[in-house]
Structure 1
Amino acid sequence: MYPVVRVIKELITNRKAPKLHPLDTHVSYHRCWPQDIDTYFEMNNGRILTIFDLGRTGLATRVGLIDVLKKNSWGLTMAGVSVRYRKRIRPFAKFRIVSKTAGWDHRFVYIDQSIWIGDECATQAMYRSAITSANGIVPPDQVFAALGNEGKSPELPEWIKNWIDADATRPWPPTDSGT
């Protein structure tokens, strides 16, 4: 089940939090609840991706993206993700999500997120997202200008560029449809 109550909490909490520059880091605090765990007594890998939504919700609220989306009748979608799982998140563990826009290209915005338990990184995800309108993808430069950031994208780290390049070689649609 989608954590609707947690999303509402993030929207309410972050509506009152200090605003962030579009390239600043948002940190949010959470706990692994019993409904998050799998048969291995740890947070389910799919739930981790859903929990990352909470961090992006807080980030989008604090940088003003939610308001810009509403004002322009734009939508937000995820277009890809690369994830590393390195440490189990056990029931009732407290953790923090660190969310930050790494940069953008002509179509997509790249959001770097990580989950930390104390000083240890448990999971990191790099999301490729797009802002959409009735006419298709909205250029990220236009989105960031609407957020008050007229500058260019920060230089994307080499590993993100490599991921973009590698993903461009991936066949779409997949070659095996199972029929």
Structure 2
Amino acid sequence: MELFTASCSNNRLLLRKYEHKEIIMNSLAFMVREKRIWLYGYVIMEDEFHLLWKKQPAWEHKNIRQMLLKFTAQQIKRSLWAGDRKELELYRSQLHDRQFQFWEKTAFSAAIPDADAAEEKLAQLHEVPVSAGFCNGVTDYTFSSAAFYQEGYDPEGIMTHYHHCFPELSENC
């Protein structure tokens, strides 16, 4: 299991727009349905998103992070091109290999070694929107996996409980 964090370029609030958060969610749903990843937890904020995930066996040697960031950047670019070209210009890049830069070049990634660490990271992720003042309780924030863990709410059917990843807790990973 891995903790992955991607931050918006120059700390901009790229994910403030609901439709941009939906692009992240739809991309994750696609990756789960196509059996590329197991998704154990997430939170999508205005300037970054955090995931607890694991590659499925057929995708272990592929760069899932790069695929996710590239695809979501393309979708966000299309959204801004259609609706807010002035904002799109904020992300124009001087790099020779791209027109726009939506994500910071270096994303954060860390292995989650055991169930205790996973539980701790999930609690931290789910607390972020509360600490930021976006909601009063962890299950009140739409773009978080907290409701899955506390209420079993997963309308997209994309979540896997973190217990499934640790043999001492489950035989399913």
TM-score range, shorter chain: under 0.3
TM-score norm. by structure 1 comes to 0.24
Higher strand share: 1
Higher helix share: 2
